[in-house]
Structure 1
Amino acid sequence: MDVLSDVIATMRTGRPHSSRRDRSAPWGMRFEASDGAGFHVVLQGSAWLLPAEGEPVALGPGDVVFLAHGRGHALAADPDAPLEEVRLRPDGTWPEAPPRPSASPPRNLSDRLPSSPVHVYRLPSPRPPSAGAPTVLLCGAYQLDRARAHPLLSELPEVVHLPARDGTHRSLRAAVELLGSELEEPRPGSDAVVTSLLDTLLMYILRAWWQGERHDTAHPTGWSAALADPAVSAALRAVHGDPSRPWTVEELGALGGLSRAAFARRFTTLVGRPPLAYLTWWRMTTAGRLLRTDGTPLRLIARRAGYASEFAFAKAFKREYGVAPGQYRGRTS
Structure 2
Amino acid sequence: MDVISEAVEDLRIGQVYGRRAEVPATFAGRFEACEGVGFHVLLRGEGWLISGSAAPMRMRAGDVAVVPHGAAHGFGPQPCTLAELPAAPMGIPAAPAEPMPVDMICGIYRLERGGSVHPFLRSLPDVLLIASDARLAALAELLTEDLGRPREGMLVNHRALVDLVLVHALRLWQAACRGAAPPWDALTDRGIAAALREIHASPEAPWTVERLSRTAGMSRTAFTRRFTALVGVPPMTYLIGRRLHRGAQLLRETDAPLSAIARRVGYATEFAFAGAFRREFGLPPGRFRGLTEPLLLREAG
Provide the rounded CA distance (Å) in 1 between the counterparts of 2:54 and 2:267: 48
Matched, 1:97 2:95: yes
Displacement after TM superposition at 1:311 (Å):
3.2
Report the AA paired with residue 285 of structure 1: H
Report the AA paired with residue 199 of structure 1: D
Aligned partner of residue 29 in structure 2, secondary structure:
strand
Aligned partner of residue 179 in structure 2, secondary structure:
helix
> Within 5 Å, which residues of 2 pair with 1:180-219?
180-182=140-142, 191=154, 195-210=159-174, 215-217=179-181
Provide the rounded CA distance (Å) in 1 between the counterparts of 2:159 and 2:224: 39
Structure 2 equivalent of residue 116 of structure 1: none
Report the AA paired with residue 274 of structure 1: P
TM-score relative to the length of structure 2: 0.71
Structure 1 pair 63–254 and aligned structure 2 pair: CA distance change class (3 A)? same
Matched, 1:161 2:133: no
Matched, 1:280 2:244: no
Provide the rounded CA distance (Å) in 2 between the counterparts of 1:250 and 1:75: 48
> Within 5 Å, which residues of 2 pair with 1:141-156?
141-145=107-111, 147-149=114-116, 150-156=118-124
Structure 2 equivalent of residue 128 of structure 1: none
Deviations 1:108-160 (A, max 9, x none): xxxxxxxxxxxxxxxxxxxxxxxxxx855432212221621133333333222
Aligned partner of residue 306 in structure 1, secondary structure:
coil
Matched, 1:175 2:174: no
Aligned partner of residue 204 in structure 2, secondary structure:
coil
Provide the rounded CA distance (Å) in 2 between the counterparts of 1:16 and 1:306: 32
**Preserved CA contact (<8 Å) 1:268 1:275:** yes
> Within 5 Å, which residues of 2 pair with 1:238-253?
238-249=198-209, 251-253=211-213
Provide the rounded CA distance (Å) in 2 between the counterparts of 1:298 and 1:200: 30
Provide the rounded CA distance (Å) in 2 between the counterparts of 1:7 and 1:53: 23
Displacement after TM superposition at 1:254 (Å):
5.0
Matched, 1:297 2:257: yes
**Preserved CA contact (<8 Å) 1:249 1:260:** no
**Preserved CA contact (<8 Å) 2:33 2:72:** yes
Aligned partner of residue 216 in structure 1, secondary structure:
coil
Deviations 1:172-215 (A, max 9, x none): 51332202443566799894666434312211333444555663
Deviations 1:258-294 (A, max 9, x none): 2343544432221123323321222123223434565
Report the AA paired with residue 19 of structure 1: R
Tell me: higher relative CO, structure 1 or 2? Use CA pairs within 8 A at least 6 residues apart.
2
Structure 1 pair 98–195 and aligned structure 2 pair: CA distance change class (3 A)? farther
**Preserved CA contact (<8 Å) 2:51 2:73:** yes
Structure 1 pair 267–50 and aligned structure 2 pair: CA distance change class (3 A)? closer
Structure 1 equivalent of residue 298 of structure 2: none
**Preserved CA contact (<8 Å) 2:65 2:129:** yes
Structure 1 equivalent of residue 77 of structure 2: 77
Matched, 1:87 2:87: no
Displacement after TM superposition at 1:303 (Å):
0.4
> Within 5 Å, which residues of 2 pair with 1:1-333?
2-12=2-12, 13-15=14-16, 17=18, 19=20, 21=22, 26-33=25-32, 35=34, 36-51=36-51, 55-70=55-70, 73-79=73-79, 85-88=88-91, 94-97=92-95, 135=101, 137-145=103-111, 147-149=114-116, 150-162=118-130, 164=131, 173-182=133-142, 191=154, 195-210=159-174, 215-217=179-181, 224-249=184-209, 251-253=211-213, 255=215, 258-261=217-220, 262-291=222-251, 294-321=254-281, 324-326=284-286, 329=289
Aligned partner of residue 32 in structure 2, secondary structure:
coil
Report the AA paired with residue 215 of structure 1: G
Structure 1 pair 228–17 and aligned structure 2 pair: CA distance change class (3 A)? farther
Provide the rounded CA distance (Å) in 2 between the counterparts of 1:38 and 1:53: 17
Aligned residues: 279
TM-score relative to the length of structure 1: 0.66
Give unmatched runs, 5+ long, in structure 2.
294-301
Deviations 1:65-112 (A, max 9, x none): 222344554433345899795423xxxxx444369xxxxxxxxxxxxx
Provide the rounded CA distance (Å) in 2 between the counterparts of 1:53 and 1:76: 16
Aligned partner of residue 205 in structure 1, secondary structure:
helix
Identity of aligned residues (%): 37
Report the AA paired with residue 206 of structure 1: L
Provide the rounded CA distance (Å) in 2 between the counterparts of 1:267 and 1:232: 6
Deviations 1:201-252 (A, max 9, x none): 21133344455566324xx6xx711133333223222212221111244554
